[in-house]
Structure 1
Amino acid sequence: MKKFFTVIGGMGSLATESYVHLLNEKTPTKKDQDYLDYILVNHSTVPDRTAHILDHSKPSFLPPLAEDIKQQSLLKPEFMVIICNTAHYYYKELQAVTDIPIIHMPHMAISVMKKKYPQAKRIGLIATKGTIADHVYENEIKDAGFEYSLGDQAVQDEVESLIYDDIKVKGEVDAPKFHKILKTMHDKFNCDVIVLGCTELSLAQEKAPDHPYKVIDGQEVIVDKSIEFGEKIRRGEKIDFDKIY
Structure 2
Amino acid sequence: MKEFFSILGGMGTIATESYIRLINHRVKIKRDQDYLNYILVNHATVPDRTSHILNPDKCESFLPYLIDDIKQQNKLDPDFIVMVCNTAHYFYEELQKNSQAPILHMPRIAIKKMTEQYPNEDKVGLIATRGTIADGIYKNEIEKVDKEVVLGGSEIQDLVDELIYQNIKEKGIVDVTLYHRILELMHDNYGVNVVVLGCTELSLAQEKGDNHPYHVIDAQSIIADVTIELATQIRQGQDKNQIIKHYQEV
TM-score by length of 2: 0.97
Whole-angstrom distance in 2 between the partners of 1:242 and 1:33: 27
Q: Matched residue of 1:29: which SS?
A: coil
Whole-angstrom distance in 1 between the partners of 2:206 and 2:32: 27
Query: Structure 1 counterpart of 2:52, which letter?
Result: H
Alignment of 1:110-149 (within 5 A): 110-149=111-150
Q: Matched residue of 1:133: which SS?
A: helix
Q: Give the superposition deviation at 1:121.
A: 1.8
The residue aligned with 1:243 is 246
Give the alignment's Cα RMSD to 1 decimal: 0.7
- 1:69 partnered with 2:87: no
Q: Give the superposition deviation at 1:129.
A: 0.3
The residue aligned with 1:204 is 205
User: How big is each residue's C-alpha offset from its partner over 1:166-190, in whole Å with a ceiling of 9 and x where there is no partner?
Assistant: 0001110001100000011111111
Q: Matched residue of 1:96: which SS?
A: helix
Whole-angstrom distance in 1 between the partners of 2:135 and 2:188: 26
Which ranges of 4 or more aligned residues in structure 1 deviate by more than 3 Å?
A: none
- 1:3 partnered with 2:6: no
Does the CA-based 8 Å contact 1:65-1:94 persist in structure 2? yes
Q: Give the superposition deviation at 1:236.
A: 1.3
The residue aligned with 1:24 is 24
Q: Matched residue of 2:98: which SS?
A: coil
Identify which range, 139-148 or 13-22, moves more after superposition. Answer: 139-148
Whole-angstrom distance in 2 between the partners of 1:233 and 1:148: 35
Does the CA-based 8 Å contact 2:77-2:100 persist in structure 1? no
Q: Matched residue of 1:151: which SS?
A: coil
Q: Give the superposition deviation at 1:200.
A: 0.2
Q: Matched residue of 1:224: which SS?
A: helix
Whole-angstrom distance in 2 between the partners of 1:114 and 1:81: 22
Q: Matched residue of 1:154: which SS?
A: helix
Gapped regions of structure 1 (runs ≥ 5): none
The residue aligned with 2:186 is 185
Whole-angstrom distance in 2 between the partners of 1:148 and 1:188: 15
TM-score by length of 1: 0.99
Q: Matched residue of 2:174: which SS?
A: coil
The residue aligned with 2:219 is 218
The residue aligned with 1:43 is 43
- 1:195 partnered with 2:190: no
Whole-angstrom distance in 2 between the partners of 1:169 and 1:226: 28
Whole-angstrom distance in 1 between the partners of 2:35 and 2:99: 26
Whole-angstrom distance in 2 between the partners of 1:223 and 1:40: 14
Q: Give the superposition deviation at 1:98.
A: 1.6
Does the CA-based 8 Å contact 2:18-2:204 persist in structure 1? yes
Query: Structure 1 counterpart of 2:88, which letter?
Result: A
Gapped regions of structure 2 (runs ≥ 5): none
Q: Matched residue of 2:190: which SS?
A: coil
Number of aligned residue pairs: 245
Q: Give the superposition deviation at 1:233.
A: 1.0
Whole-angstrom distance in 1 between the partners of 2:245 and 2:3: 19
Same amino acid, percent of matched pairs: 54
User: How big is each residue's C-alpha offset from its partner over 1:192-216, in whole Å with a ceiling of 9 and x where there is no partner?
Assistant: 2000000000000000100000000
Q: Give the superposition deviation at 1:73.
A: 1.2
Does the CA-based 8 Å contact 2:197-2:218 persist in structure 1? yes
Whole-angstrom distance in 2 between the partners of 1:163 and 1:60: 21
Query: Structure 1 counterpart of 2:10, which letter?
Result: G
User: How big is each residue's C-alpha offset from its partner over 1:63-104, in whole Å with a ceiling of 9 and x where there is no partner?
Assistant: 010110110011110000101000000000000002210000
Q: Give the superposition deviation at 1:32.
A: 0.8
